[in-house]
Structure 1
Amino acid sequence: MPEVSRVIDVPPEAVFDVLSDGWLYAGWVVGSSHIRDVDGDWPAVGSRIHHSVGPWPLHIQDVTVVRAVEPGLSMSLEAHGWPLGAAAVGLTLVPHEEGKTLVRMTEHIIRGPGKVLPEAVQALIAKPRNSESLARLADLATGKHARAKNGRPRP
């Protein structure tokens, strides 16, 4: 299963704070272009983010569903993007050094036409996109954490 990782200079709670705000999803997930709605109980198991995938006007309206969650530690998602398919995405947060977090992200296609692709081809597609997603997640978590630390209200 393709995996990427990144050390982020904030504690796991700060990273999870971004993950638990569904309205920020399009800000860090490469390919997600617009959030239409977020279930009120996000990130509870079964809750959904209603989003668009791809550039306008060719975007596809779909959803991402929480399959498992351990607050501050991990989140498993099922990201839909029909007609392309659906992927299982895992995010694991590991305390790393003083006040830092090692984030591991995995993804594999579970349904749709992309499922027939060999794992090596899936990795060629997923790894660069997911590396960029983690870079964006790092920026959001670092910025949001700095604002909270400096006593500024969160947007």
Structure 2
Amino acid sequence: MTSLKSEVSLEVPVGAPAIYAVLADGWSYSSWVVGNAHIRDVDPEWPAPGSRIHHSVGAWPVNISDTTVVRDSVPDRLIDLEAKLWLLGTARVRISLEPLSGSSTRVVMQEGALSGPGRLMPDILQRLLLGPRNAEALSRLADFAVGRARQP
């Protein structure tokens, strides 16, 4: 198992099922994942282990098409992903949901390079590069989950 180099967390004022519902909706991925530009397809069994999101990264006209694969998933508790990015390699991204109360959840996002040039970066550099990006991703995920929870 690879070491996850970066960890950020955020307390979100909704229950874990509301947050997991966003994670389980592969089509919402580009709404909260920083750098993800477009979802091309989502396997029907998403977020079952082995299922994939087919996405594009980057700004037009320089879009790179790739996939993210579910390594593990436990409803209302976690999703563990392997994100691929063409020649740059792969990264492991683990999002854990820790219920604090019926209406509040601590969301923890951990990430680390699995393969490619990112594995050559010192741990401190990975943390410096991934931390702010993942903090923004958690903020977007929280806004998305809270907004969905408010809808009738």
What TM-score comes out, normalization by structure 2 length? 0.95
* Correspondence 1:139 to 2:104: no
Give the equivalent residue in structure 1 for 2:55. Answer: 51
Describe the SS at the equivalent of 1:120: helix
Q: Residue 39 of structure 1 is aligned with which of 37, 43, 52? A: 43
1:104 to 2:93 alignment = no
Return 74-83 or 13-22, whichever deviates more. Answer: 74-83
Number of residue-to-residue matches in the alignment? 148
* Structure 2: stretches of 5+ with no match in the other structure: none
* Partners of 2:57 and 2:65 within 8 A in 1: yes
Aligned counterparts of 1:98 and 1:22: Cα–Cα separation in 2: 25
Q: 1:83 Cα shift?
A: 1.7
| Separation in structure 1 between the aligned mates of residue 84 and residue 31 of structure 2, nearest angstrom | 17
RMSD: 0.7
Q: Distance in 2 between matches of 1:34 and 1:2?
A: 25
Alignment of structure 1 residues 2-81 onto 2, 5 Å: 2-81=6-85
State the 1:97 CA deviation.
Answer: 3.4
Work out which of the residue numbers 115, 119, 125 in structure 1 matches 2:119: 115
Q: Percent identity?
A: 49
State how far apart, in whole Å, the 2-side matches of 1:122 and 1:23 are: 28
Q: Which amino acid aligns with 1:103?
A: V
**Of residues 126, 131, 136 in structure 2, which corresponds to 1:127?**
131
Match of 1:91 among 88, 95, 100: 95
- Unmatched 5+ residue regions in structure 1? none
Divergent runs of 4+, >6 A:
none
Q: Normalising to structure 1: TM-score of the pair?
A: 0.94
Q: Secondary structure at the match of 1:83?
A: helix
